Amino acid sequence: MSAPADPPSPEQPPPLVRTEGDRRTLEFMPGDIQSEMRLSRPDALVLAYARAMMCFALFAPRPHHIVMVGLGGGSLAKFCYRRFPRARITVLELRADVIALREQFHVPPDDARLRVLHCDATRWLAANPGQADVLLVDGFDASGLPSALSSARFYADCRRCLRPDGVMVANIFTYDPDYVAAVQRLRAAFDGRLAWFRGIAGNNQILFAVRPGAAAASPGAAERRLLRILRPRGFGWAWTNRLLARAVLAWLSRRAV
């Protein structure tokens, strides 16, 4: 059961939906695009950061339960719902006015595999340890990354919510004033098991962290893949990493999961 959600701050403006031709966007402030959808291909991932977050499949290719912090326009939820048909998907969204837009962004209705919960993600994660194989943290408001979603306590709860050898993916703007400190807190929470693909999504830094396996002295499959593919200070060049993200999407689109 989800924890009760606090109402959005009265200072928060209502979300703005814009449709121009085949393009529909969700914005919290005019011009500040949170999510984008092509009406002709509503399940496709348009924005580079969303494609980059799907690189979790390199480390956890067959998750049983995917938990997401933040619904937005539902791009990640829709893609995972279609491409991981054996996975349950739980989306934690604080704002009822964002959830109310799900039909406009073609987010499927709740069923046995998909649940969109109106709740405070910090409370839900703290109350549900050992739930997720993959945890995607993509929660923003009109001011950027809320401090509650980048605190040491929050990252510790993220680690506890993961099953052994589970993978967390965090989206943080590199120009956020708290960026360096947030990365340090995330690294500490996961005992240094943190890495990223350099420049894969412009100013969006997509960070991958792995919870140690049941036997901490013997790395699990996800951690072995992380260490083999990535380096602690970032891997590769921006253009090759962007191509990699597109290749991962193509692989997910054609494989039998």
**Residue 185 Rama label (left phi>0; alpha psi -120 to 50; beta):** alpha
Say if CB 196 and CB 234 are below 8 A apart: yes
Say if CB 116 and CB 69 are below 8 A apart: no
Say if CB 219 and CB 164 are below 8 A apart: no
Say if CB 241 and CB 201 are below 8 A apart: no
Tokens 């412009």 correspond to what residue? Answer: 202
| Nearest to 192, CA basis, from 159, 221, 160 | 159
Of the candidates 138, 141, 157, 165, the residue annotated as catalytic is 138
Residue 66 burial class via C-beta count within 10 angstroms: exposed 0-12, middle 13-18, buried 19 and up: buried
- 168: β partners: 135, 209
Check if 138 is active-site.
Answer: yes
| Nearest to 85, CA basis, from 45, 114, 106 | 114
Active-site annotation, residues = 138
